[in-house]
Chain A
Amino acid sequence: MKPERWQQISRIFNRAISLDDAAARAAYVRENCGTDDDLKAEVEKLIESHEQAEDDDFIGGLAVEDVAEHFTGDEEERALQKGQQFGDYLILDHLGIGGMGQVYLAQDARLDRTVALKILSADVAADERRMQRFRQEAKVTSSLNQPNILTIFESGEVDGLTFIAAEFVDGETLRDYLRGKRLKFGEILDIGIQVLAALDAAHEAKIVHRDMKPENVMIRKRDHVVKVLDFGLAKVTEKKKSASGEEGLHEESRTEFKTAPGLIMGTVNYMSPEQTQAKAVDARSDIWSTGVIIYEMIAGTKPFGGTTSAHTIVQILEKDPAPLAHAGAPEVPQELQRIVAKSMAKDPDERYQTAKDMLIDLRNLKKRLELDAEIERSAAYPTAVFGPPAITTIEDAKRTAESTVAGISKTKAALIVALVAIVASVAAVVGIYVWRGKRNTPIVPPPTSVTPPAQPRLTYWITVQKYKDGKPYEAPFDLAGEINFEADYQIRLSIRGLQAGYLYVLNEGPTGAGNAPEYVVIFPSPTANDGSEFVAANQRVQIPNETWLKFDKEQGVEKLWLIFSEQALPELAGVKAFTNPRNRGLIDDAQLNKTIDSFLSSRLSETATPEKGDTFTALKTASKTLIYPIRLEHH
């Protein structure tokens, strides 16, 4: 097209669209194009496109937003690839992504041990003075040899990338661990005690963590030992003051963060009041953050959480958190409430002054609760000498205990002495039995570990990402499942089984050939659990792992069949051939659809019973195979 022609079109176009009335526009175009039909056609085409573009809000947002969600989990963005040699390390797997960069599982060729390799982003690594201090602190904390402090082996640089090699924790972060379950007080105390033991040792050595949060606490799968991560790293990553500030003057004791919308910021939810105000921070700030973590473990929600960081900070500074007894956990022991409240006093002078003090209180409480439980149990089952006690539920145990020993809870102190004899003799069997059970599977508190459930059990929950005008907005949230989803919400399904077993999730479609519905395989899928249908006990499976599921545009109810069994299910073995998300998991083999259908219908009478929590649903069944249709209603 000639420039003159282009200018001519654009002139008429711009004048025309400045007229609101369609008829006036048409008239204007007709008038100005005269007999030049080509010109007229060009202009009209553009006007039409203009109107459509307005309606669709075409490129009305920002490019980076339009494509950002597609880059999550972008493999090629990772600095290192599986199987790659990196200095003395062989990269085995990708473990996660954090505020500072990627974390990998790697093999140290020299010592033949696996490590977690954290690659620091260039800006963090570039600050030599801070890195120096980090190395120094890492050395000190690691040399403490405290079992709850993550050991740092070394830090260094390879190919211009700064790395930290640390002990690999085969387990979950507390954040992931908390998802989809409510912890028992015993376990909360266990975790709290180990975290504080780590802090106590570090504080003694004059090291403040400054970034205590569930993401920085890991729980080892094998033995449930708790590890506190990232000691000394918070200081390194604190945002440098921009040139306006007097950098270097107070940065020893100051924490900088930005509150402008859209700017990068770690979570503020666990920051102490003094931290949010960038005041001097000492060990008592870690105590606050630990209090917040314990509160969250008890209540299932964070004590302070506004819609924006600024709101959260205001709450931290001014608001008292909802009392724990009301925050979804009515039976929380008084003493635990007191401990949490004391650790979260706004004024550091009113808090526990040392981690040790708080640790002692938690330990004493734990002993007391254990003793209570022991007393109740031994009083309830004096005949347990003949074999493992047949306690079915904690409630049973309590009820029996109360009827056997009148007023046991009120006169505990006196009874303790009297019961020592019983405890001593019965404990020889019961106590030791319980103790062993606990050792082997410390995740389950004593009463339930005595009688591990024989029937499959699992919890599931749905993570929702809201969309508005085709863009994600608001942070994703978890729910039990029963809402009417908006058509453009995107979801993830998370499942956690109490036992190890085989898991399948199938979406029932309309009836196809052979008079059976056509099923769509949602799980197993290569985008969740590495494509394996076998999941370990207590493992959380997220479907899909990196992306999301989205509904079609047709309003209705999606029926998602959840099938879980400790034994392999031969009827479902065939679905693996359809697990590729590229063919959308649709089973087009009529015979297989029929097999699945008759498998499901033959077990209809034994579908699992749901128990709804706020953010997850627990499923129970009396059969060997757990089957449950999740119904997702959507617009």
Chain B
Amino acid sequence: MKKAPPRQEHEITQLLAEWRDGNQAALDELYPLVYDELHRLARRYMSRERKGHTLQTTALINEAYVRLVDQRNVQWANRSHFFAISAQIMRRILIDHARRQTYAKRGGGARQVSLEETAIVVQDDLSEFLRLDEALKALAELDPRRSQVVELKYFGGLNNDEIAGVLKISKNTVIRDWNMARAWLHHQLTGSAST
């Protein structure tokens, strides 16, 4: 019923290699495997978070990588590809969560009180988070690469060098893309609301 770990390791390594070589079908197979692992790890991190442990996306993705990928056939390109797909998956995991959490809508009659439960404020943060995701989708229509830079950095926790490696662009381009994308997203979230 459950695949033995060694086979899975090998399989994922293989799929990563195929995807790198341009086989898009490999990505479709890879996606659910990585999703499960990341989801499980993320949940564990979240529960640890309550006990006061800090959370680091890269550490989390790295752990997924070490667990899933056959370390004997490691290639740097594999790792960055893994991080790229993981960033995308982290985004989906977090957005799915946020969406579920915001179901419970806040009641009316909101008057200022001086001590209140965070759960209420939380929903503001989360709806903001969901709006960011929407804006990022709009940016992807306009400029796929810049939206990918944001995804890798903000959702995947990659640094500029790693992003440069994944997207095969220079580090300076990463920085420029990031600035432009961030300004545009910020404007979408704040500017358009007031005008």
Contacts and interface: CB of A to CB of B under 8 A. Distances in A.
A582 interface: yes
B7 interface: no
Given A49-B184, A584-B120, A74 B114 contact: no
Contact of A552 (B55, B113, B120): B113
A264 interface: yes
B182 interface: yes
A76 interface: yes
A630 to B, nearest CB: 11
Interface in B86-131: 90-91, 94, 97-98, 100-101, 104, 106-122, 125-126, 129
Interface string B144-174: 0000001000110100000000000000000
Given A59-B132, A72-B47, A474-B52, A586 B113 contact: yes
Contact of A584 (B5, B42, B116): B116
B60 A64 contact: yes
Interface in B67-94: 67, 70-72, 90-91, 94
Contacts of B121: 550
A415 interface: no
Contacts, number: 221
Contacts of A123: 40, 67
A65 interface: yes
17 contacts: A68-B55, A69-B118, A72-B50, A76-B100, A126-B5, A474-B52, A476-B52, A520-B115, A527-B119, A548-B118, A549-B118, A550-B115, A550-B118, A582-B106, A583-B108, A584-B110, A588-B111
B180 interface: yes
Interface string B24-44: 000000000000000010111
B97 A14 contact: no
A153 interface: no
Nearest to A66: B129
Contact of B117 (A13, A46, A544, A556): A544
A58 B153 CA distance: 13
Interface string A548-588: 11111010101010000000000000000000111111101
B57 to A, nearest CB: 5
Contacts of A490: 118
Contact of A13 (B90, B155, B183, B191): B183
A84 interface: no
Nearest to B125: A70
Nearest to B128: A66
Given A67-B129, A69-B122, A548-B117, 4 more contacts: A49-B187, A53-B186, A59-B132, A581-B119
A5 B183 CA distance: 17
A1 interface: yes
B119 A520 contact: no
A121 B48 contact: no
Nearest to B133: A63
Contact of A46 (B104, B113, B176, B183): B183
Contacts of A261: 54, 56, 59
B155 A63 contact: yes
B113 A585 contact: yes
B127 to A, nearest CB: 11
Which secondary structure characterizes the binding site on chain A? mixed
Contacts of A242: 66, 71
A262 B107 contact: no
Contacts of A472: 49
B16 to A, nearest CB: 16
Given A264-B63, A474-B52, A549 B115 contact: yes
A52 B126 contact: no
Interface of B: 1-2, 5, 40, 42-60, 63, 66-67, 70-72, 90-91, 94, 97-98, 100-101, 104, 106-122, 125-126, 129, 132, 142-143, 150, 154-155, 157, 176, 179-180, 182-187, 190-191
Interface residues of A, number: 80
A507 B186 CA distance: 37
Contacts of A507: 113-115
Interface in A158-174: 160
A66 B125 contact: yes
A71 B99 CA distance: 11
Given A45-B187, A70-B122, A475 B45 contact: no
Contacts of B72: 243
Interface in A38-66: 45-50, 52-53, 56, 58-59, 62-66
Contacts of B107: 580, 582-583
Contacts of A52: 186, 190
A418 interface: no
A6 B183 CA distance: 13
Given A509-B113, A547-B119, A50 B183 contact: yes
A52 B184 CA distance: 11
Contact of A263 (B2, B50, B59, B116): B59
Interface in A278-323: none
Contacts of B70: 243
B176 A14 contact: yes
Contacts of A97: 47, 50
Nearest to B63: A263
A126 to B, nearest CB: 6
A173 to B, nearest CB: 13
A260 B60 CA distance: 11
Contacts of B104: 582
B183 to A, nearest CB: 4
Q: Which of B107, B122, B183 has the most CB of A within 10 A?
A: B183
Given A17-B179, A68-B46, A74 B101 contact: yes
A386 interface: no
Given A50-B183, A52-B186, A66-B129, A581 B94 contact: no
Given A126-B5, A243-B71, A68 B45 contact: yes
A56 B50 CA distance: 26
Given A509-B114, A527-B117, A550-B116, A58 B55 contact: no
Contacts of A558: 114-115
Contacts of A588: 109, 111
A172 B61 CA distance: 35
Contacts of A13: 179-180, 183
Interface string A113-130: 000000001110010000
A46 B139 CA distance: 14
B143 A6 contact: yes
A99 B125 CA distance: 28
A546 B70 CA distance: 39
